[in-house]
Amino acid sequence: MTEVNYISNRHTCALKSLLLQILLVFGCITATQGSPDYLINDNSIVGDISGIGDQEAMTEYIENFLRYPNEAQEALNRACLYFPTIEKALLRRGMPLSLKFLPMIESSYRTRVSSRVGAKGLWQLMPGTARDMGLRIDHYVDERSDPAKSTEAGLNYLQFLYERYSDWSLALAAYNCGYGRVDRAIGKAGGSLDYRKVRQFLPQETKKYLPRFAGAQHLIENYAEWGLVRDPFDRDMQITGLVRIYKKITLQEIADATHLPLEMVEVLNPSIRKDHIPKTKEGMEVRMPKRVINMFSHYLATGEHIANPFRVKVSEHEIDVESNYFDVAKNLKVSPFDLMVWNNAVSSSDRLSASSPVRYYQIYDPDKVVEAVPPPARLIYHPFIPLPQRLDYRSELMKEVAKQEQIKAEMQAFALHSGG
């Protein structure tokens, strides 16, 4: 992992210069010319963040984030791991794609982190809110730690807040401090839904929330400027699927049956609170690399351990014309959101230029790889020799019949002549 030096005075000056540029850009919504509707690049859903203290709050967040280089790098890596899940859910709902940056200020994309007030997971959901949004929390499972399920719940709640205020700045403020406090702040502002008027009546911590969100978005989109690199997790952590298990089984047993490290099984299934899965009638879904699912299904059915032939390989594809990630992914039969991570795309509106190599990963069986067949020897063509004309058997037969009739007639005439 790349080491990032502690921000010096020189870095701080550069930071403040960049922040001035950010403040001029944030709040705009643009679309790439000629791009499909689903490739809208909302630079930010945050409105005006040029109020008193906003610039200082953004600077403070970025400085604190970069103060610990290793943690900053790991947070970026986790973001790359969970972006495909979050972006897919946002796109399906038609929600702004920049909401994918919200877990950075909530949890730094850590699935099991808990706050002092009891919020947990990527989206830091409180138990009551999580249950209201359909998540399961009990002795065995806390689905607030499940990346996919908690994302659906978090977005459900954000959608509810946006429908309440019709303004993303107020929705994000309510996500931080609760809609009750935002409602009271709106009342003090004379019923106005203008965030700039409501802001002064919000809690001090909430006033910093939007600038921090803007700072998180800037950090992830411009990671290279701060000495960070995109170093995603093992591909087995990305190319995954679900298996429903009905019987009691330990996580160690799953690791042994799939030949995976126990740590990987645990990281892929952070919502499981125990070291085993209980026997249940409805079953429980367990996430694992796609390449081991057949092997594990065989183990569940027979109890037999077998070797897994499947591997993950990297390939490169060169496109002929400029295109977007969605069209290229469709041709390659991979997820467009995975493809974006694999090729360091910052946004779904990024374009792929003609002749540029596109990196993608596939599952394959090395035992069934077909060796390249050498091309056939070049054929040598001789001068054309016409075939003999096909005989007309019917015509020849008629000639033969006529000939026989003539002979017969001549013989009869000879006999009559001899008899006379």
Return the CATH number at 288.
3.10.350
pLDDT of residue 88: 92
Total domain count for the chain? 3
In a domain, 34, yes or no: yes
Q: Can you give the residue range of the structural domain that contains 270?
A: 235-302
- Residue 61's nearest CA partner among 207, 174, 258, 263 is 207
Q: What is the mean pLDDT of residues 247-263?
A: 95
Judged by phi (left if over 0) then psi (alpha if -120 to 50, else beta), residue 333 lies in left
pLDDT of residue 373: 46
In a domain, 98, yes or no: yes
In a domain, 420, yes or no: no
Interval 186-242: pLDDT, tens? 999 999 999 999 999 999 999 999 999 999 999 998 888 888 888 766 788 888 999
Report residue 48's pLDDT band, with 50, 70 and 90 as the boundaries. low
pLDDT of residue 173: 96
Higher per-residue confidence, 31 vs 223: 223
What CATH number corresponds to the domain at position 152?
1.10.530.10
Higher per-residue confidence, 331 vs 399: 331
| pLDDT at 176 > cutoff 80 | yes
Considering the domain architecture, whether residues 117 and 219 belong to the same structural domain is answered as yes
pLDDT of residue 232: 64
CB 189 within 8 A of CB 226: no
- Token couple for 256: 């042994």
In a domain, 38, yes or no: yes
The winner for highest mean pLDDT among 56-70, 224-238, 244-258 is 244-258
pLDDT of residue 144: 97
Out of 201, 226, 251, pick the residue that ends a domain.
226
Higher per-residue confidence, 376 vs 30: 376
How many Cα atoms occupy the beta-carbon half-sphere of 341 within 13 Å? 26
Report residue 343's pLDDT band, with 50, 70 and 90 as the boundaries. confident
pLDDT of residue 299: 93
On average, the pLDDT of the chain sits at 81
Out of 226, 260, 275, pick the residue that ends a domain.
226
Considering the domain architecture, whether residues 208 and 258 belong to the same structural domain is answered as no
pLDDT of residue 415: 62
Higher per-residue confidence, 314 vs 419: 314
H/E/C letters for each residue in 370-393?
CCCCCCCCCCCCCCCCCCCCCCCH
- Token couple for 216: 């998180």
DSSP character at residue 173? H
Considering the domain architecture, whether residues 153 and 270 belong to the same structural domain is answered as no
Considering the domain architecture, whether residues 139 and 196 belong to the same structural domain is answered as yes
Interval 99-151: pLDDT, tens? 999 999 999 999 999 999 999 999 999 999 999 999 999 999 999 999 999 99
Report residue 90's pLDDT band, with 50, 70 and 90 as the boundaries. very high
Q: What is the mean pLDDT of residues 328-337?
A: 87
Considering the domain architecture, whether residues 257 and 353 belong to the same structural domain is answered as no
pLDDT of residue 6: 30
Considering the domain architecture, whether residues 345 and 328 belong to the same structural domain is answered as yes
Considering the domain architecture, whether residues 55 and 199 belong to the same structural domain is answered as yes
Q: Look at 53-57, 214-218, 280-284, 291-295 and tell me which has the smallest mean pLDDT.
A: 53-57
Considering the domain architecture, whether residues 313 and 247 belong to the same structural domain is answered as no
Q: Look at 153-167, 201-215, 331-345 and tell me which has the smallest mean pLDDT.
A: 331-345
pLDDT of residue 332: 87
In a domain, 408, yes or no: no
pLDDT of residue 16: 43
Amino acid at 37: D
Give me the DSSP letters along 175-186.
Answer: HHH-HHHHHHHH
Report residue 354's pLDDT band, with 50, 70 and 90 as the boundaries. confident
In a domain, 412, yes or no: no
pLDDT of residue 39: 35
What's CA 173's distance to the chain center, in Å?
Answer: 28
Considering the domain architecture, whether residues 298 and 365 belong to the same structural domain is answered as no
Query: How far apart, in Å, are the Cα atoms of 116 and each of 126, 132, 174, 205, 363?
Result: 11, 21, 19, 15, 42
| pLDDT at 318 > cutoff 90 | no
pLDDT of residue 300: 92
Q: Which pTM was predicted?
A: 0.74
- Reduce the DSSP state of residue 363 to 3 states and report it: strand
Considering the domain architecture, whether residues 214 and 281 belong to the same structural domain is answered as no
How many Cα atoms occupy the beta-carbon half-sphere of 244 within 13 Å? 5
Considering the domain architecture, whether residues 251 and 351 belong to the same structural domain is answered as no
> What whole-number percentage of the chain has pLDDT above 90?
53
Considering the domain architecture, whether residues 263 and 136 belong to the same structural domain is answered as no
pLDDT of residue 49: 59
Catalytic residues: 106
pLDDT of residue 379: 42
| pLDDT at 256 > cutoff 90 | yes
pLDDT of residue 126: 96
In a domain, 115, yes or no: yes
pLDDT of residue 105: 96
Where b means 16+ CB within 10 Å and e means fewer, 262-273 reads eebbebbbbbbe
Q: Look at 78-92, 102-116, 315-329 and tell me which has the smallest mean pLDDT.
A: 315-329
Report residue 322's pLDDT band, with 50, 70 and 90 as the boundaries. confident
In a domain, 413, yes or no: no
